[in-house]
Structure 1
Amino acid sequence: MSPALIFDCDGVLADTERYGHLPAFNETFAEVGLHVRWTDEDYARYVTIGGGKERMASLLTPEFVVREGLPRDAEGQRAMIAVWHRIKTGKYTAKVAAGELPGRPGVARLVEEAAAAGWLLAVASTSAEPSVRAVLEHTVGAARAADFAVFAGDAVERKKPAPDIYLLALRGLGIDAADAVVIEDSANGLAAALAAGLTTVVTVSTYTADEDFTGAALVVSSLGDAPDELTQVISDPHRLDVGDEVRLSHLTRLISP
Structure 2
Amino acid sequence: MASSVIYSPSTAAPSSSHTKLFKICNIKQQNAKFISPSSFLGKNLAISNDLNTKKLRSMKKRSSLVNCSVSPPAPPAALLFDCDGVLVDTERDGHRVSFNDTFTERGLGVSWDVDLYGELLKIGGGKERMTAYFNQVGWPEKAPSGDAERKEFVASLHKRKTELFMALIEKKLLPLRPGAAKLIDQALAKGVKVAVCSTSNEKAVSAIVSCLLGPERAEKMQIFAGDVVPRKKPDPAIYTLASTTLGVDPASCVVVEDSAIGLAAAKAAGMKCIVTKSGYTAEEDFENADAVFDCIGDPPEERFDLDFCGSLVVKQYAS
- For normalisation by structure 1, the TM-score amounts to 0.90
Do residues 186 (structure 1) and 259 (structure 2) align? yes
User: Which of the numbers 197, 210, 214 marks the counterpart of 1:137?
Assistant: 210
1:14 partnered with 2:119: no
Aligned residues of 1:103 and 1:138 also touching (Cα < 8 A): no
Alpha-carbon RMSD = 1.5
Distance 2:151 2:175 in 1: 33
Aligned-pair distance for 1:139?
3.1
- Choose 1 or 2 for highest CA Rg: 2
Deviations along 1:27-61, whole A, 9 cap, x unmatched? 00001111111110110101111001111112323
- Structure 2 residue corresponding to 1:209, chosen from 276, 282, 292: 282
Q: SS in structure 1 opposite 2:123?
A: coil
Aligned equivalent of 1:83: 156
Which digits, 9 at most, give the CA deviation of each residue in 1:126-181, with x for residues without a partner?
11000011111233211111111111100111110111111111111111111110
* 2:24 aligned residue: none
Q: Alignment partner of 2:79: what SS?
A: strand
Deviations 1:80-129 (A, max 9, x none): 01110110000001100001110000000011111111100101111100
1:43 to 114, 117, 121: 117
Post-superposition CA distance 1:171-212 (Å, at most 9, x none): 111111111100000000000000000100000001000000
CA contact (8 A) 1:26 1:36 kept: yes
Rounded to whole Å, the distance in 2 between the matches of 1:89 and 1:45 is 20
Q: Secondary structure of the residue that 2:256 maps to in structure 1?
A: strand
Q: Give the alignment partner of residue 138 of structure 2, picking from 41, 53, 64.
A: 64
Instruction: State the AA in 2 paired with 1:89.
Output: T
Give unpaired runs (5+ residues) of structure 1: 231-243
Structure 2 residue identity aligned to 1:75: A
Residues 1:196 and 2:254 aligned together: no
Structure 1 Cα separation of the partners of residues 105 and 298 of structure 2: 39
Q: From the superposition, tell whether residues 201 and 72 of structure 1 become closer, same or farther in structure 2 (CA, over 3 Å).
A: same
Which residue number corresponds to residue 250 of structure 1? 308
Native 8 Å contact 2:76 2:310 kept in 1:
no
Distance in 2, matches of 1:63 and 1:215, equals: 33
| Bigger mean CA deviation after superposition, 115-124 or 133-142 | 133-142
SS in 1 for 2:162: helix
8 Å contact 1:124–1:166 — kept in the other structure?
Answer: yes
Q: State whether structure 2 residue 249 is matched by structure 1 residue 176.
A: yes
Segments of 5+ residues of structure 2 without an aligned counterpart are: 1-74
Which residue identity lines up with residue 45 of structure 1 in the other structure? Answer: E
Maintained 8 Å contact 1:128/1:153:
yes
Match of 1:92 in 2: 165
Sequence identity (%): 45
Is it true that 1:159 corresponds to 2:232 in the alignment? yes
* Cα drift, residue 63 of structure 1: 6.2
Moved runs in structure 1, 4+ residues, more than 4 A? none
Which of 88, 92, 107 lines up with 1:33 in the alignment? Answer: 107
Contact 1:122–1:149 at 8 Å: present in 2 too? yes
More RCO (CA 8 Å, sep 6+): 2
Q: Tell me the CA shift for residue 2 of structure 1.
A: 7.0
Counterpart AA for 1:206: G
Aligned residues: 241
